[in-house]
Amino acid sequence: MSQRFSRRTGWDLRESNFAETIRRARSEGRELLDLTVSNPTVCRFIYDAEAILAPLSDRRALTYDPNSRGMLSARESVAGYYADHGASVDPDSLILTTSTSEGYGYLFRLLCDAGDEILIAQPSYPLFEFLADLEDVRLRPYPLFYDHGWWIDFAELEREIGPKTRAIVVVHPNNPTGHGTGLEERRRLEEVCVRHGLALIVDEVFLDYPLQKHHLRSFAEGPHPVLTFVLSGMSKIAGLPQMKVGWIAVAGEDQSRLAALSRLEMIADTFLSMNAPAQIALPQWLANRFGLQKQILERTAANLREITASGLDVLKTDAGWSAVLRLPRIGITPEDLMLREGIIVHPGAFYGMPEIERVVVSLIVPPEVLARGVRSIAEFMLSF
């Protein structure tokens, strides 16, 4: 008899047609312009190797002295990060995790029984489906709509709330739309959560990357009329996804905040997944974040200008590392672009955008690659 596996891992793991086409083109030696690269460590930024690696050899890491919320000195440095954003966060209200993704896993376990539901914006980052499957949680999408900028469709959001709904996830700013949740939208979200007894989960990994003049405000800033979990981490803040450090900041009225924290502490204690060297290094990585952030901010702004200058239509974005392009409606798919021009873009469908003319590009790809890519797309479109 063959081994049976859990239904929750019964994913369709076959390679998509698009991925297969790309792989085949690469194996034939075809040079491709990849406009989707979003791994900052391969995008030709200058990292201060000494400042990043030296703290990893601190001798304090030789002693195992686990703290289930994470090392206090590391949590204090995260509180300092929020203080820089004008938000007062108690280090004891923080739980360190190995990534934002692990933070989501903890929160889904904390808030949901099997079959419970979490509301999530659409379009958004596709990772959530797997995270939810692993915790037996069901995701219900609520739409963002585009009208000279992205907005939450509150009428639809409320229609999605049912007896099994436990929380609303807001990605602020959102990936890939770059939609930042304004104060009025935050107030309305909190009002909906209060009325339905829901928690708010806010993913702020791209908070430090505004593309417009105004800076985005962190949900860690009070007041907090609902139980609020703010997620972030080193992947984007310091461009160090390989260092595997993230966190959850818990806010809200004392009773539910403290209950949530003690349960989260127990979840974290079960795994104790944080390693000592990274926690010891965290204060220095955070202190040094501005050098890399400046390079990324200059790159994302310049790449966005380049896209606009190429004549392509780009949807309005507040912040982040990606841009949604609206190609002319002539039925050209990302697969056509790859096969005919050797340019890789993400289909909008990858993020839950059904419109085939919408494609997503990363704004952190090296500028000469982006410039060549978008100019070729623009010329290709004009040839029809």
Ligand X SMILES: Cc1ncc(COP(=O)(O)O)c(C=O)c1O
Which residues of this chain interact with ligand X, rule CB under 6 A?
A: 99-101, 125, 171, 175, 203, 205, 233, 235, 241, 246
Shortest spacing between CB 357 and ligand X, in angstroms: 23
Residue with smaller CB distance to ligand X, 233 or 373: 233
Shortest spacing between CB 315 and ligand X, in angstroms: 17
Residue with smaller CB distance to ligand X, 55 or 241: 241
Q: Which of helix, strand or coil describes residue 291?
A: helix
Shortest spacing between CB 311 and ligand X, in angstroms: 28
Residue with smaller CB distance to ligand X, 181 or 235: 235
Question: At a CB cut-off of 8 Å and minimum separation 6, what does 343 contact?
Answer: 32, 33, 35, 337, 373, 376, 377
Q: Burial letters for 151-172: b for 16+ Cβ neighbours within 10 Å, e otherwise?
A: ebeeeebeebbeeebbbbbbbb
Query: DSSP characters for 240-259?
Result: -GGG--EEEEEESSHHHHHH
Shortest spacing between CB 241 and ligand X, in angstroms: 5
- Asked if 374 contacts 310 with a C-beta cutoff of 8 angstroms, the reply is yes
In the chain, DSSP assigns E strands to 33-34, 94-97, 117-122, 138-146, 150-152, 165-171, 199-203, 228-233, 246-251, 313-314, 322-326, 343-344, 346-347, 358-362
Residue with smaller CB distance to ligand X, 125 or 370: 125
Residue with smaller CB distance to ligand X, 242 or 308: 242
